Structure 1
Amino acid sequence: MDASANISAAVFAAYLKCSTKAYLTAHGEKSPDSFFADTLGRTSAAYKARVSQGPRMGSTNAVSFDYLRQTGVPAEYTPTLLVDCETAACARDLAVAVRVGNQTERADPGHDYVPIVFSAWNKRDRSDDLLVCFGAMAIQQATGEEIPSYGRVIYGEGERDRTVRIDNHLPKARQIVEAIASASLAGDPPPLILNNHCAMCDFQARCRALAIEREDLSLLGAMTAKERSRNSEKGISTITQLSYGYRPRRRRRIKSTAPRASPPVKHDHKLKALAIKKAQTHVVGSPTLSIQGTPVFMDVEGVPDRDYYYLIGLRYEAEGIPVEKSFWADGPEGEREIWRQCLCALKLVEKPQIVHHGAYESRFLKAMRERWPASFEDAEFLDRLIDGSVNLLGCIYGRIYFPTYSNGLKDIARWLGFEWTWPQASGSAAMLVRRCWELTSDERLRRELIAYNIEDCRAAELVAEALARICGTGESGGKTKLETVNVESLEVGFQRTFGKFPSALPEFEKINAAAYWDYQRSKVYVRTNKAIRRTIEKSVKPVKKVAVEKEATIDDRPACCPRCGASKVWVAKRLSQTVFDLKFTRRGIKRWVVRYRYNSYRCGACKAEMTIYQRRSKFGQNLCAYIIYLLIEMRLSRQNIAEHVATLFNVSITASAVHNVKSAMARYYEPTYRWILEQIRSGPLVNADETKGVVYGGGHYVWTFANLTAIAYVYSSSREASILDETLADFKGVLVSDFYGAYDAVPCQQQKCLIHLMRDINEDMLKHPFNEELTFIATRFGSLLREIVETIDRYGLKKRNLGKHKRSAERFLNDVAELRCATEVGIAMRKRIEKNKEKLFAFLDYDDVPWNNNNAEHAVRAYTRIRNVMASSTPKGTNEYCILLSLQQTLRCRGIPFLDFLQSRRSEID
């Protein structure tokens, strides 16, 4: 394209769909097949002709931009002149005005130009608004006057008229024009990326052939742009390279206290790439295809932007003869009739079972049930049809990987040998042809759509037969099973070293049991090694009887029977309880055992037995405090605590007893825990963070809420924001957090952690060292934050000293907002900063509000150290850990020794 050439509206509109299409259009490259361009032009012309005769335009028709530029304003012009933007052209340099021959003669300061766009589709697209803005810029250059303030879009079946404010879309339109100009001056074509618009582009054959030659990742229709970008960062740019990354993985075995649902099926791009590279169908697991009755292959065509269906195709066998039926509707008013005809046809089939490819037909059946309620008998019949329908794509997705670039019906059927008579066959093309038929009533287009619909039914039948052969079901029609590769054959066997030995013979099980370490040590080596024999003998010695340091007799004889009131009460039994405790002295800790002696009494009148003495735990107050100290502050496991207490104090205690002590202490300190939460909620500052828990089944979280003097841990079964609503209800202070979106729902002033932002910017800089946009953001942000940190180091978090940085912060945010980014990482970082601009420097307006989330992150580390000891737990157990850890961390913030507080049995901190 000539460097001085203008940018046409066709090039601008093409760029909105695909940069490659815009490049080819600008350079005048022609496709051998112009079906889509011709059909779009025909549709547009027919729609404009209809609009010009309708009431929307009135007596004034729009003039073309070419007419305006060459001839000027018509003599009969009105104060408002409508200019059709279809042929608009804009100079690459937006500062250049395109001079017009008789511009000075027709200039009229009172004249208004209104760019207008016609769209035959019923839903207005953002591209229409941008095209109006492009036309406004072209009018400004062509006339030399001010840019129009508004434009119009006339669209849809009812010729709806919508006003477009030019200012709202002008920056984006200018950015696109500059991008097109830069691409044309660069000379080289832009990177080839296939997208959804390819199905309605005349260059699709050229681009697809080039992409196949390069093995481009955009051929994989299920792979998103972000996934392609991540693979590109790893040096993976082709399908072959991607296929080498496939590694069959064993399923994680997660312990669960309740039966878990089947894990969701996921599509594996690497396995898809492997299937394409090897040109073999790969199968995961054991897919099934269940067709019980007579399969009726259905395909439906509709108009999504007007929400109605106009064509239903059916294919089935009746007495061994293929039957094909088509039901066509000229408009929305005919939908009910074709649905009635379809139901009548299905009733004539013996045990019909709908088979389709994709979810479109499923939505169609459910929509018809709701939109056109049937009689009771028909309703039951329809319910059976919907419940028994088979979606072939559901059988394929994540389980069967054909060597095709997508799981679409066209790709799979063509690989199986099927061909459509219509070369441009696709759902998008069908919608375009249908709209063209509505505007032109061309019978040839109607026949093409009906033939295409029936061929889709035939293709679905072919795919169903292939699936039946893969699954090995009876629906394969006696054909041999299709050759496939089961991914389990690709797995490398896992050499089991630990765990249960799955013996094939009883003899192997006996031999394996004799090889265990403890079996050999206690049964084999003990016979040959005296040292080991002495060790074994010592380990089975009985525990020494513990001496009682103190005897205490409880005199609790009741004055009368609490049941009948009789005064004659005598001793029935003499009982005792031994309590193990610890005594803390200046020189250390020693065991302290007390035996309490008490009596059980019997009433002489009613013979009722009673005991006034209430038995307590066998472990005393100080021993319980010491156990919790070891569990929470020293982070010992329950088994290690039991061994520790038995070794040092000769007190026999089990791991389950340690658990019971933990539960009892958590119940005792729960009011204190509630008080800590209230102190945090009512304070001026909260630092919040979250981390994963270790509850059976997975998916559980522990949230941390902290301020300068208190820390609380809250268990939650999920990462949803509801826990924030409960914990921070009526909070009026400043919330400091990371960039997790759930925190944004809290209705209070917020400060985002700038350390998180700095680390993310730094990580992006390391991945993209030559990205100028990211370098600009990182340099400005680093310089600003360094100055702020220096002020904080000198004066502390004081509003009066930090206020001088507010102007610099506002300047940084404005510079980022005005930064024009072209790369994905630059756009993402700019959007992130713009989204959180009110939350990045809020700490400059407050005293004692930190610019980072270190308080919460430090508290999270305390939990993670406990989590490593817990290994696994239940919701109840995790909540108990949260209560005791909240107490311990709050006491540490206030300089109070945890063990001393536990010994005192106080429940109030202040």
Structure 2
Amino acid sequence: MEASDTLLSAAILRAFLKCPTKARFLALGKSPQETYFSDVEAGISSTYKSRAWRMLHDRGELVAPATFEQIADGDGSATRWFDCDTAVCDLALSQRGLAEPRAQKSASGGRVVPVLFSPWEKPVLSDSLLVSFGARSLSQATRTQVETGILVYGDNLRRKTIRISDHAAQLNRVFREIGSLLPGGRDPPLVLNAHCSVCDFWSKCRGVAIEQDDLSLLSGMTVKDRSRALAKGILTISQLSYGYRPRRRKRTKPDAERAARSNDAAHTRPPAKHDNKLKALAIKSGRIHVVGAPAIKLEGVPTFIDVEGMPDRDSYYLVGLRFEFVGGPAEHAFWADGPEDEQGMWEDCLRTLKSIGNAQLVHYGAYETRFLRTMKKRYSSEPDEAEFVDRLIGSSINLVACIYGSVYFPTYSNSLKEVARHLGYDWAWPHASGAASVLMRKTWELSAVSDVKPLLLAYNMDDCRAAAVVADALTRICAGGPSAPDSVNVGSLEVGFQRTFGKFDSALPEFSKINDAAYWDYQRSKVFVRTDKSVRRTVRKSERRRNISGVEKEITIDDTPANCPKCSSTKLWKYPPRRSNIVYDLKFSRKGVKRWAVKYRYGQYKCSECHAEMTFYKRELMYGPSLRAFLVYLLIELLLSNRKAAEHASLLFDLRLAKSAVGQIKSEMAEKYTPTYQHILKQIAGGNLIHADETKGVVLGGGHYVWVFANMTTVAYVYAESRESAILENLLDGFKGVLVSDFYAAYDSVPCPQQKCLIHLMRDINEDLNRNPFNEELKAIAGRFGALLREIVETVDRYGLKARHLGKHRRSAEGFIEHVAGMNCTTEVGLALKKRIGRNSDKLFTFLSYDGVPWNNNNAEHAVRAFTRLRNVINTSSPKGTRDYATLLSIQQTLRYRGHAFLEFMRSGEMKIPE
């Protein structure tokens, strides 16, 4: 790759932050057919910079612009600002880093500062990245490290200092992604986005997308939805349309109060979720598709309103009104030259609305209602005026709410521009869009170009007229009739691929009797019982078992259905006799625990029309929840094996309980409480302190581990196949608290403050001393370490783990680290201890700077002992079995840490552990 292929300009980076495809075009030197928006943005930037330099000089500030050629020169008499828009960076050099950095030249040194000028009032992330990019470019040019940059923004030239290090990692990620777009790279996937409306390459990209029938044309389709479709092999809108299946809508009772409201469609939530497949079908067929029966009620005088504003300063500058008046439509526009004229614009608009009489506002989108609420809050202090605005808001109609989920136009989006153009209306301004109007308003504010204001006034009124066209079309669609636009009621579409059910249509009466005699129950009870002795014995034995089964209670379920749930037929056959299901459970009382067996008798039915067989009683599990909770209590709390737990429960409560049944119950309970276990993990990862340790698991064959994570109130056990650090990266991703652990190197991979267990270190030093009693190097380190730790422990015993009291030991701790680092150790054991302390110097006394962080890992070791006691009972297990034990033991230990009973929690059925 040539050197020029790795050069990245600020223009390409700015484009990439908006659209990778645009960045690719600029990197390859491709030009759009017209440069309308590029010229507008360049004019805004140039005018703002010229104005900014004039204002800076008028204020007497000693700053001057600096180019690449001037960076190496100068006497430093004035701070020079390097324009980040002119920056160029070599990606290859950026990846290698700076070589031989010299003294820093930054804002603090008064030499050269990377500066970005932004005419907008609100800084965004891309501004900070561009400043960081300018700093990176300046660093490459001067072989220095630039630590800060400046963002100059807004009409008043406000300044924001950007710390380059805060955005270095993100800028590096952008560099890696953008490197493949430079010459010699590959084209990125074409994805249309919100920036397309103010991009000169819009027509080219849209043409390619339409030719490919690309899914990104559907603006209502999220990135996640597109990814799911692509995973299924759905690449085009046409393919997506074939996936639509009309579904029967739920029947809902009419709400009298809601029906009484004059504008039901505008005030209620969308009737259905937006269906991208139905949207694709509408586009493919070129017809409007209507779901349900949308309604739009226009009362009073329909007044179409459209508002234009500047989002970066939360202000409004133009309001357009259009309504029917005597002799034809009346159109009014209210303009504000600046934020100081906003109140006058609002008062003029409000005066006109009052003069209409019974005005009912009709708008496209929620922007107008937000405008009304904002104006009321800012300027309508009189009660009568505020009440009038509330009435306008309450009776207003949002056409988007009427369309969403109900009316699917054959357009790629529900934007006013696309829908109105489909209905035959077009704008005089060919580049009309909300984002483009913001650019034109900024152009007018900076340069007062004479033809911009009439352009915006005409655009605003075109929006009002377009909203009237859409409202008229919706009214005709809802009313139906020959004058309605070509539309399809989705309810009339044929539902394909649906399985049909029906009764056996016998041509002869004999066939019907033969069909009835072919059922399995009939043959077994009427035929095989007479011919097969084993079947006869089985049937008699089962009948005898049903008769002699000892139960405490019998319940007959009255579940006779009114009709068939599949075909709605009321002719149902009932199978005699009733079926039964016995549930064995325990009943707890103040006097003790007893067995509680309940037999449920229920019926089975068959539809005479569609022959569908049905049972409306949901068959209960053989063992009830209290018995299941008791068995888990025996396994986890009392540490009994599966066999012992089965014997214990069977003997106490006269149950036929097999060892395998206990194992199955344990597995099912672990699965049930998996959400509780996941919540425990989230609580630990989201806390301020974690104690971590690991121990061997109990999987047959060995080599498996259980990791323990705990804090003062929560414990989690996590099964893993190895001691690799990957599990720490997954579970503790985003953890910003303090991690307390032993000296196992895997914990160092967690990017957070860490505290090593000083008890571990003390015991290791003590062991080394016992083995080497005459090693003076060990004695020196051990003596100094013991004295320091004794003083710290005395402070902890007196004041607790409070940083304000422990902070007085920081100087002594630093002195101990420096002393050990400066020792000249010659013995092997002394040198190993010196290296160990030096390697963990920043992790030995972290607790001195934090409240509530202990200096030992006893909390995790206590949790480990709980698992080792259980491990001795488990003996051997499978990976799944170990995971089940880890889930249940995590809940049991967390409850114990919080002072709650494990058995009571399991019996309660609660899924959330109390605090």
What band does the TM-score fall into relative to the shorter chain?
0.5 to 0.7
Give the SS at the match of 1:186: coil
Instruction: Output aligned runs, 1:218-617, within 5 Å.
Output: 218-251=216-249, 265-472=272-479, 480-492=483-495
Shift of 1:245: 1.2
Shift of 1:854: 6.0
Shift of 1:429: 0.9
C-alpha spacing 1:852/1:191, structure 2 compared with 1 (3 Å): same
Which range moved further: 217-226 or 330-339?
330-339
Shift of 1:54: 3.2
C-alpha spacing 1:362/1:589, structure 2 compared with 1 (3 Å): same
- Distance of 1:168 and 1:31 partners within structure 2: 36
Shift of 1:217: 0.9
C-alpha spacing 1:714/1:342, structure 2 compared with 1 (3 Å): farther
Shift of 1:409: 0.1
Aligned partner of 1:486: which letter?
N
1:83-106 superposed Cα distances (whole Å, 9 cap, x missing partner): 11111111232259999xxx99x9
Shift of 1:680: 9.4
1:42-98 superposed Cα distances (whole Å, 9 cap, x missing partner): 21122222322335995456655xx53234455453374321111111123225999
Alignment partner, residue 138 of structure 1: 137
- Distance of 2:752 and 2:286 partners within structure 1: 48
Matching of residue 39 in structure 1 with residue 40 in structure 2 = yes
1:532-563 superposed Cα distances (whole Å, 9 cap, x missing partner): 9x99xxxxxxxxxxxxxxxxxxxxxxxxxxxx
Shift of 1:442: 2.0
Percentage of pairs with the same residue: 38
Shift of 1:427: 0.7
Shift of 1:388: 0.8
- Distance of 2:34 and 2:908 partners within structure 1: 76
TM-score (norm 1): 0.60
Shift of 1:749: 5.2
Shift of 1:492: 2.3
Shift of 1:191: 2.0
Shift of 1:118: 0.8
- Distance of 2:279 and 2:310 partners within structure 1: 32
- Distance of 1:251 and 1:215 partners within structure 2: 30
Maintained 8 Å contact 2:128/2:162: yes
- Distance of 2:720 and 2:234 partners within structure 1: 48
C-alpha spacing 1:213/1:673, structure 2 compared with 1 (3 Å): closer
Shift of 1:29: 2.0
Alignment partner, residue 11 of structure 1: 12
C-alpha spacing 1:749/1:422, structure 2 compared with 1 (3 Å): same
Maintained 8 Å contact 1:300/1:312: yes
Alignment partner, residue 832 of structure 2: none
- Distance of 2:8 and 2:549 partners within structure 1: 92
Alignment partner, residue 596 of structure 1: none
C-alpha spacing 1:791/1:837, structure 2 compared with 1 (3 Å): farther
- Distance of 2:637 and 2:270 partners within structure 1: 38
C-alpha spacing 1:430/1:109, structure 2 compared with 1 (3 Å): closer
Alignment partner, residue 51 of structure 2: 50
Shift of 1:443: 2.8
C-alpha spacing 1:155/1:22, structure 2 compared with 1 (3 Å): same
Shift of 1:180: 2.8
Give the SS at the match of 2:117: strand
- Distance of 1:219 and 1:389 partners within structure 2: 31
- Distance of 1:107 and 1:714 partners within structure 2: 58
Instruction: Output aligned runs, 1:696-735, within 5 Å.
Output: none
Matching of residue 809 in structure 1 with residue 812 in structure 2 = no
Instruction: Output aligned runs, 1:628-667, within 5 Å.
Output: 628-629=583-584, 639-640=600-601
Alignment partner, residue 197 of structure 1: 195
- Distance of 2:312 and 2:28 partners within structure 1: 33
1:9-56 superposed Cα distances (whole Å, 9 cap, x missing partner): 111111111111111122222223222111111211222223223359
2:180 to 165, 179, 182: 182
- What 5-or-longer segments of structure 2 have no aligned partner? 259-267, 527-544, 556-580, 588-593, 605-615, 640-662, 710-716, 735-748, 755-858, 872-877, 889-901, 911-915
Give the SS at the match of 1:93: helix
1:852-897 superposed Cα distances (whole Å, 9 cap, x missing partner): 8867869999xxxxxxxxxxxxxxxxxxxx999955999xxxxxxx
Which range moved further: 27-36 or 293-302?
27-36
Aligned partner of 2:120: which letter?
W
1:500-557 superposed Cα distances (whole Å, 9 cap, x missing partner): x9xxxxxxxxx99x99x9xx99xx999xxxx99x99xxxxxxxxxxxxxxxxxxxxxx
Maintained 8 Å contact 1:97/1:140: no
- Distance of 2:95 and 2:344 partners within structure 1: 59
Shift of 1:496: 9.1
Shift of 1:346: 1.1
Alignment partner, residue 124 of structure 2: 125
Maintained 8 Å contact 2:198/2:435: yes
Alignment partner, residue 28 of structure 1: 29
Alignment partner, residue 77 of structure 2: 78
Shift of 1:250: 2.5
C-alpha spacing 1:279/1:883, structure 2 compared with 1 (3 Å): farther
Maintained 8 Å contact 1:313/1:457: yes
Shift of 1:357: 0.6
- Distance of 2:884 and 2:251 partners within structure 1: 30
TM-score (norm 2): 0.59
Q: CA RMSD in A?
A: 6.0
C-alpha spacing 1:251/1:263, structure 2 compared with 1 (3 Å): farther
- Distance of 1:233 and 1:273 partners within structure 2: 18
Aligned partner of 1:10: which letter?
A
Maintained 8 Å contact 2:283/2:410: yes
Aligned partner of 1:199: which letter?
S
Give the SS at the match of 2:149: strand
- Distance of 1:749 and 1:591 partners within structure 2: 53
Shift of 1:295: 0.7
Alignment partner, residue 899 of structure 1: none
- Distance of 1:678 and 1:156 partners within structure 2: 69
- Distance of 2:630 and 2:252 partners within structure 1: 33
Aligned partner of 1:9: which letter?
A
- Distance of 1:677 and 1:369 partners within structure 2: 62
Give the SS at the match of 2:55: coil
1:149-202 superposed Cα distances (whole Å, 9 cap, x missing partner): 111111123322111111111232233234333222435432211111111111
- Distance of 2:486 and 2:458 partners within structure 1: 32
C-alpha spacing 1:682/1:93, structure 2 compared with 1 (3 Å): farther
Maintained 8 Å contact 2:241/2:284: yes
Aligned partner of 1:297: which letter?
F
- Distance of 1:231 and 1:748 partners within structure 2: 42
Give the SS at the match of 1:191: coil
1:253-309 superposed Cα distances (whole Å, 9 cap, x missing partner): 899xxx999996211111111111111111111111111121100000111121111
Maintained 8 Å contact 1:713/1:883: no
Which range moved further: 793-802 or 276-285?
793-802
Shift of 1:251: 3.9
Shift of 1:370: 2.2
Maintained 8 Å contact 1:676/1:711: no
- What 5-or-longer segments of structure 1 have no aligned partner? 502-510, 536-586, 594-615, 620-625, 644-654, 684-705, 725-734, 755-784, 819-832, 862-881, 891-910
- Distance of 2:40 and 2:293 partners within structure 1: 45
- Distance of 1:247 and 1:184 partners within structure 2: 44
Aligned partner of 2:15: which letter?
A
C-alpha spacing 1:814/1:885, structure 2 compared with 1 (3 Å): closer
Maintained 8 Å contact 1:113/1:148: no
